[in-house]
């Protein structure tokens, strides 16, 4: 179901009793995060904080405290069909369109009028260096090709007009800008519709604009409006937009921050954004999102788009791949489960090699398609009963892996392990236990 903006999605959740209003006054320092933690732990409702200490703005949070909300956002009945919807949508993008009317710049603050402290940016975990924006959709363009990119990257508030940014991919764009002695213009859209947030998590090839996927999920082009101080276009329906430039040649300590692995990532030097404008709607809603010990907004939002990414890539080479699962317990990053209708012996080992080669998971488990990949108990049953550690495992050392793995010997370095937990095709295997007439037992 398409949502024109964040408010429409919040109202939709409200009508379904999937959102509750928190009327009492709450602090953006730890308290809002604690509420989101609590609703995430019980897969509860999204939260709308009506009264936030120190800010005029309301705060929405826990939008993706449960997978239910993500499925509602995608109009999908279950996990598998949600992934398939994203897979199909990736194949038929609808490019964005430029409009002149914009809700996101009803109010404009620029120059000395810029003050990030007016935003109720949330401080999450106990050792975090300060408040971090976690659900800001960063829009940038490659300085050489002009191709747009969107992504969610954490932003540490460092002053009235200063943000630290931690972004893997931005390194390419920023490097190209710096090579020309320039900064990288950036616009951060806060409080956008779920279709944009979901599309931002697709691992699109470099140079492909994820807004095309957003458009397909919406069923119409995403409307973009000109930013006011940088040469970029921003989603016109955003609640708030922060504009600025990633400064060339500047690195400043950023972090620590409690990350999606469930551990703190220590402080280190990272790029800095100088903010040139903050625009917003009248009475904007600030969107907070939790990152930390699984399961949080971060994991739920990432999971289905990353599964769509791997599903497409693996199926291209191995048509027997039925589906893939990146469980939240693996950070929706480090552990991949693949469902396979096996055509020949050893095929799982090739799949494992390709999946590890894609730079992401460090554990890959391949199971037959009679095993429910979303039920980890059944996946581990298959591992325990259909694989032998000596014959059915594959081990690689020192390859590149997903970021922020606390056990990594050095950043982005990992080992890779695969388990072929499929039944052998070339020799008999004991028959599985079943009870006849199970389907005839009436409900009780």
Which residues bind to Mn ion, rule: CB under 5 A? Answer: 149, 204
346 three-state secondary structure: coil
Q: Which residues contact 167 (CB under 8 A, 6 or more apart)?
A: 138, 151, 153, 271
Angle, helices 297-317/79-90, rounded to nearest 10 degrees: 60
Quick one: 191 or 305, whose CB is closer to Mn ion? 305
Minimum CB separation from Mn ion for residue 207, in Å? 8
Full DSSP string of 350-408: HHHHHHHHTSS-SEEEEEETTS-TT-HHHHHHHHHHH--TTTSEEEEEEEE--TT-TT-
148 binds, among Mn ion, ligand FMN, none (CB under 5 to 8 A by kind): none
Quick one: 276 or 298, whose CB is closer to ligand FMN? 298
E strands, 44-171, where? 46-49, 58-61, 97-98, 107-110, 132-133, 136-141, 148-152, 154-159, 162-166
Quick one: 169 or 393, whose CB is closer to ligand FMN? 169
Quick one: 224 or 301, whose CB is closer to ligand FMN? 301
**100: its two tokens:** 């002149």
How many angstroms separate the Cα of 142 from the Cα of each of 86, 223, 272, 376? 25, 21, 18, 40
Minimum CB separation from Mn ion for residue 140, in Å? 9
Quick one: 13 or 402, whose CB is closer to ligand FMN? 402
Contacts with ligand FMN, residue ranges (CB under 6 A):
134-135, 149, 151-154, 166-169, 200-201, 203, 289, 291, 297-298, 301-302
Minimum CB separation from Mn ion for residue 210, in Å? 6
Minimum CB separation from ligand FMN for residue 357, in Å? 18
Minimum CB separation from ligand FMN for residue 290, in Å? 8
**Which residue's Cβ has the minimum distance to ligand FMN?**
169
How many Cβ atoms sit within 10 Å of the Cβ of residue 162?
17
166 binds, among Mn ion, ligand FMN, none (CB under 5 to 8 A by kind): ligand FMN
Could you give the CA distance from residue 358 to residue 401 in angstroms, rounded to a whole number?
A: 9
Minimum CB separation from ligand FMN for residue 413, in Å? 17
**338: its two tokens:** 């693949």
How many Cβ atoms sit within 10 Å of the Cβ of residue 61?
28
Quick one: 83 or 204, whose CB is closer to Mn ion? 204
- Could you tell me if 133 and 154 are in contact, meaning their C-beta atoms sit under 8 angstroms apart? yes
Quick one: 192 or 301, whose CB is closer to ligand FMN? 301
Minimum CB separation from Mn ion for residue 206, in Å? 7
**336: its two tokens:** 């991949």
């Amino acid at each position: 179901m398409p949502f024109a903006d964040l408010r429409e999605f919040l109202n939709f959740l409200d009508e379904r009793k999937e959102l509750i209003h928190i009327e009492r006054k709450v602090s953006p320092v730890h308290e809002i995060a604690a509420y989101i933690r609590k609703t995430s732990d019980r897969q509860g409702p999204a939260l709308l904080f009506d009264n936030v200490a120190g800010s005029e703005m309301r705060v929405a949070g826990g939008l993706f405290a449960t997978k239910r909300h993500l499925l509602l956002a995608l109009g999908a009945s279950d996990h598998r069909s949600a992934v398939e919807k994203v897979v199909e949508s990736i194949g038929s993008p609808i490019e964005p369109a430029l409009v002149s009317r914009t809700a996101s710049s009803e109010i404009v603050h620029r120059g000395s009028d810029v003050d990030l402290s007016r935003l109720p940016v949330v401080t999450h975990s106990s050792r975090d260096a300060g408040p971090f924006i976690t659900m800001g959709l960063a829009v940038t363009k490659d300085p050489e090709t002009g191709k747009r990119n969107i992504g969610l990257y954490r932003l540490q508030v460092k002053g009235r007009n200063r943000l630290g940014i931690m972004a893997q991919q931005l390194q390419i764009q920023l490097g190209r800008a710096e090579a020309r002695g320039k900064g990288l213009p950036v616009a951060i859209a806060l409080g956008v519709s779920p279709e944009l947030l979901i599309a931002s998590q697709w691992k699109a090839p470099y140079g492909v604009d994820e807004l095309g996927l957003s458009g397909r999920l919406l069923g119409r082009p995403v409307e973009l409006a000109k930013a006011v101080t940088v040469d970029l276009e921003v989603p016109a329906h955003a609640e708030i937009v922060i504009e600025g430039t990633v400064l060339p040649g500047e690195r400043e300590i950023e972090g620590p921050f409690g990350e999606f692995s469930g551990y703190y990532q220590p402080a280190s030097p990272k790029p800095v954004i100088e903010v040139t404008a903050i625009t917003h709607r009248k009475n904007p809603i600030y969107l907070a999102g939790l990152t930390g010990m699984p399961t949080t907004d971060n994991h739920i939002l990432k999971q289905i788009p990353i599964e769509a990414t791997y599903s497409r890539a693996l199926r291209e080479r191995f048509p027997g791949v039925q589906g893939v699962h990146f469980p939240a317990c693996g950070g929706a990053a480090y552990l991949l489960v693949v469902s396979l209708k096996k055509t020949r012996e050893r095929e799982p080992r090739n799949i494992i090699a390709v999946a590890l080669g894609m730079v992401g998971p460090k554990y890959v488990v391949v199971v037959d398609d009679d095993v429910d990949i979303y039920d980890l108990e059944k996946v581990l049953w298959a591992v325990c009963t259909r694989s032998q550690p000596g014959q059915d495992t594959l081990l690689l050392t020192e390859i590149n892996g997903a970021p922020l793995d606390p056990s990594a010997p050095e950043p982005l370095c990992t080992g890779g392990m695969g388990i072929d937990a499929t039944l052998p095709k070339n020799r008999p295997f004991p028959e599985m236990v079943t009870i006849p007439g199970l389907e005839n037992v009436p409900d009780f």
